[in-house]
């Protein structure tokens, strides 16, 4: 079972927790992280979700996930990348570049968008069998093309320009 800290509309913890999948009350949110890993050639590590993974089955995405109760944004970013791709990120090489509040129809949330400027050995990527079908390096232009043909998780398109500079 996975529990999430409940946040108020100002991102403050309320002291309540909710079981993943349970409904939120009005003005209750949880925290999600999106993690982009960028190399010196301005390529990003992207991964393809398993065809049976809800939501967005079979779509490409940046790595991400929900923050479990007691964890913070950075800890979640490092943990999700390690779990899904087998990559150890250097916490000193990452920063939050964008934040927003959303509701994707699944749960109301805040999103911290991280960018880690770090070289990755593509051969060292180990996809988590239950969640990730494959991973690859992609340029901004390739990601935009995937977005255009609805092959990339749409939420990521809203801030793509903020991570590429």
Q: What is the pLDDT of residues 97-134, one digit of tens each?
A: 999 998 877 789 999 999 999 999 999 999 999 999 99
Q: What domains are defined for the chain?
A: 3-159 (3.90.79.10)
CB–CB of 140/53 below 8 Å?
no
CB–CB of 69/3 below 8 Å?
yes
Give kind and range of the element (H or E) at residue 35: strand 30-38
What string of DSSP letters covers 49-62? E-TT-SSSTT-EE-
High-pLDDT (> 70) share of the chain, %: 98
Answering whether pTM is above 0.75, one says: yes
What string of DSSP letters covers 6-23? EE-TTS-EEEEEEETTSP
Query: Would the pLDDT of 65 be above 90?
Result: yes
Angstrom distance (rounded) from CA 145 to CA 116: 23
CA distances to 63, 67, 76, 80, 107 from 44, in Å: 11, 22, 19, 16, 27
Angstrom distance (rounded) from CA 133 to CA 53: 10
Q: What is the pLDDT of residues 19-58, one digit of tens each?
A: 999 999 999 999 999 999 999 999 999 999 999 998 899 9
């Amino acid at each position: 079972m996975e529990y999430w800290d409940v946040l108020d509309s100002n991102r403050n913890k309320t002291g309540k927790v909710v079981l993943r999948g349970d409904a939120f009350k009005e003005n209750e949110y949880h925290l999600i992280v999106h993690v982009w890993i960028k190399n010196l050639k301005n390529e990003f590590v992207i991964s393809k979700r398993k065809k049976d993974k809800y939501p967005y089955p079979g779509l490409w995405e940046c790595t991400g996930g929900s923050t479990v109760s007691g964890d913070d944004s950075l800890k979640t970013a490092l943990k999700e990348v390690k779990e899904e791709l087998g990559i150890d990120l250097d916490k000193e090489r990452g920063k939050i570049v964008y934040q927003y509040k959303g509701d994707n129809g699944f749960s109301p949330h805040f999103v911290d968008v991280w960018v880690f400027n770090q070289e990755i050995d593509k051969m060292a990527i180990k996809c988590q069998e239950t969640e990730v079908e494959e991973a690859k390096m992609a340029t901004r232009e390739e990601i935009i093309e995937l977005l255009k043909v609805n092959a990339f998780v749409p939420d990521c398109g809203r801030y793509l320009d903020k991570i590429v500079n």
